Amino acid sequence: MDIILLERIEKLGTIGDVVTVKDGYARNFLLPQKKALRANDANKKVFEANRERLEKENAERRGEAEKVGSKVDGAEVVLIRAASNTGQLYGSVNVRDMIAGLTEQGHDVNKKQVIMGSPIKTIGMHDVTVALHPEVHVIVKANVARSDDEAELQSQGVDVLAQLFEDEQKEIEEAADANRIDPTLEPGEIPAELLEDGATPAEDTAEEAAAEEEAASE
């Protein structure tokens, strides 16, 4: 379907452009949201007659969005959540959480403006886009952590999730080292560190035999 854009649409064009889109996209989103008109002769004449007014109104909305954007840009929302030792959340952080955090800081945003793509499921610093106007997008931070201390470290630039991964790998390596068999041992030979008081296997066997003989004689 050919349409006339009434505002800038990412990857399509800007106000006044005539573009072709899928029928479903036009009928279900662009036309009902009044972001576009069908590109027929009648609508083209209507648009051209109102172009100046539409462009002026768009510029005013963009100016207001830029003022708001200057305040909200770079805002950091701290979200304390339960998570595993590998940093995986027992749940997720979604658009509603971000709106609540930004609202607490005095920023007026709605769910249509917050763009996350998918919920956040790990601790760390995450970029979240806020679209205040089709031509004004800003980035805010979601600081997801298990505690206030972790959140503070992440604010300072520490990659807590990477540290957790390194700690886990270290524990795995230490456990492997503790269970590793000395390749220099003969078959059936017991490692010296497992023997009490530095005794050899032969000494242990002799002592056990003497103890059993003494017990039998009694």
pLDDT of 217 reads 61
**If you average pLDDT over every residue of the chain, what do you get?**
86
The candidate with the shortest Cα–Cα distance to 65, out of 8, 11, 130, is: 130
pLDDT per residue as tens digits for the range 48-78:
999 999 999 999 999 999 999 999 999 999 9
> For the residues 150-168, what does the mean pLDDT come to?
86
Is the pTM here over 0.85, yes or no? Answer: no
Q: Which of the pair, 33 or 170, is modelled with greater confidence? A: 33
- Tell whether the model's pLDDT for residue 149 goes beyond 70: yes
36 DSSP β-pair partners: 5
The confidence band for 41, taking pLDDT boundaries of 50, 70 and 90, is: very high
Residue 33 three-state SS: coil
Note whether 109 and 97 are within 8 A (CB): no
Q: What average pLDDT score do residues 103-120 get?
A: 93
Determine the pLDDT at residue 162: 86
Residue-wise pLDDT tens digits, 172-211: 666 666 666 556 666 656 666 555 555 555 555 555 656 6
Pick left, alpha or beta for residue 13 (phi over 0 → left; psi -120 to 50 → alpha; otherwise beta).
left
pLDDT given for residue 171 in this prediction: 67
What is the chain's percent helix, strand, coil content, to nearest 5?
45, 20, 30
Is residue 115 within 8 A of residue 129, CB to CB? The reply is: yes
